[in-house]
Amino acid sequence: MARSRITDTGRKDLITDAGSVLFSFVKGEQLEFPVTLNFLEDATAGYTYEAVVVEAQNLFGQTGKPTTVLAGGVQTVIPVRVPTNRGTWDAVQAYNTAEVVSHSGIVYQLVAGAAVVNAVTPDLDPNWTVTTLNKIHLQFPTTLADTYAISASVNSPIYGFFELRVTEPNTSVYRRTWKPIRGMIEILFSPTDIVP
């Protein structure tokens, strides 16, 4: 499969094309992004997920994206949240926020609540939403880029290079590894980040 350069962020299809993505954050934001892995049926089935950001060779006042990694720069591991699959929905079981269940051939995720027990089926209960089993969540921390060599300025963002790796469980005959998302992280200037 052909791959484009990691700095080419013009395309957005995360799996089927050769493009890269651009995640843009205002310094100090903490956000979670859902990612649907179209090449998997069940992301909860023992796969290993590794997401990282490495600091780019940013320059003070830069007007474009850097094209190299900063030697000895900051390396950040991005947590990957995989929903807990509770199997087939059961009216007497207690469920927690973000857990997933199957009911009548459809997968549902609990939107809110802790230890929720409800006899109303997920298809009729507004606390459940339809989802898929091949979805994971990237959790970008508020501290991302805190210790980069250069800080973002009003007209000059800073960057890092991002990649997600997905590896099959050890039980596979030939353990495959995919790298379905790569690209850049853009960090924009934030007044609230500099005011104590």
Please report, for the chain, the start and end positions of each structural domain, with discontinuous segments joined by +. 28-79+134-194, 84-130
- Which DSSP helix (H) or strand (E) runs through 110? strand 106-110
Q: Which two tokens stand for residue 79?
A: 């947590």
pLDDT digits (tens, 9 = 90+) for 82-102: 999 999 999 999 999 999 999
Lowest mean pLDDT among 6-15, 38-47, 157-166: 6-15
What is the side-by-side order of every strand in the sheet holding 106-110? 85-88, 100-103, 106-110, 128-130
Mean pLDDT, rounded, for 9-22: 62
Q: Model's pTM, two decimal places?
A: 0.84
Closest CA to 54 of 68, 38, 33, 37: 68
**What is the CATH T-level fold of the domain 84-130, as seen in this structure?**
Seminal Fluid Protein  PDC-109 (Domain B) (2.10.10)
